[in-house]
Amino acid sequence: MPADDRECGRNRHGAPVRRPGSHDRAAVTDAPQSPSADAPCDNPSKPGFPVAWIREMAEYAASAGPAECCGLVLREGIRPCQNVLPDDSARVAYQFSPADAIFVAENADAGTILAIYHSHPEGPADWSAIDERAAWFAGAPLYPKISRLIIGCRAGVPFEIAGYSFTETAWRPYWRSAILP
């Protein structure tokens, strides 16, 4: 089944709208995956940035295990960040360094940050309760113009990536792709 044939019932989304500048189909496929949440997706085959960048994030995710990696997708490329949580906590969550957190806060509305990414070292790229909690602040979505990317890993090996964006009232999945070894 082509990716474009996947069930898509939502026409509005807050995902990055930039088209990928290149496709690296040797590294990444758009093989369909089942959406992990009830919300349908709008743009399953378009990550909003060059697909080759996924390889960079995946390599960081693999090297960071068993801790979660984290970083930013900027217009000009990937910016890996440091997960400053202690080892035990870093297996299930991430926290930017103060410098990275300030960078995000100062640039959140400038359109230069396309996405915040992190990895799940031992699980799929599903939106977790921790992810949901981290995406809100004082009852409002935190940085709703910036999408969130999750890299799912099995035994430390990245195998999928999924994107989530804030639309209307909730964070919803908008894109999912397999990552080949």
- Find the part of the chain contacting Zn ion (CB under 5 A) among 9-17, 33-41, 131-139, 155-163: 131-139
Among 131, 143, 144, 178, binds Zn ion (CB under 5 A): 131
> Cα separation of 57 and 118, whole Å?
9
Q: How big is the chain, counted in residues?
A: 181
Least CB distance from residue 84 to Zn ion, whole Å? 16
**With CB under 5 A as the contact rule, which of the stretches 39-47, 101-109, 122-130, 156-164 interacts with Zn ion?**
122-130
- Assess 128 for contact with Zn ion (CB under 5 A): yes
Distances in Å between the Cα of 34 and the Cα atoms of 25, 124, 160, 178 are 20, 11, 11, 11
Shortest spacing between CB 61 and Zn ion, in angstroms: 11
Question: What are the start-end ranges of the H helices in the chain?
Answer: 52-64, 87-90, 98-107, 129-134
Identify whether the C-beta of residue 130 lies closer than 8 Å to the C-beta of residue 147: no
Backbone angles phi, psi at 120, to 5 degrees: -110, 100
Closest chain position to Zn ion (CB) = 131
Least Å from the CB of residue 164 to Zn ion: 10
Backbone phi, then psi, for 104, in 5-degree steps? -65, -45
Of 14-22, 69-77, 125-133, 138-146, the window that binds Zn ion (rule: CB under 5 A) is 125-133
In the complex, minimum distance from the CB of residue 150 to Zn ion, in angstroms, rounded to a whole number: 5
Residue 127 beta carbon to Zn ion: minimum distance, rounded to whole angstroms: 7
Site for Zn ion, rule CB under 5 A: 128, 131
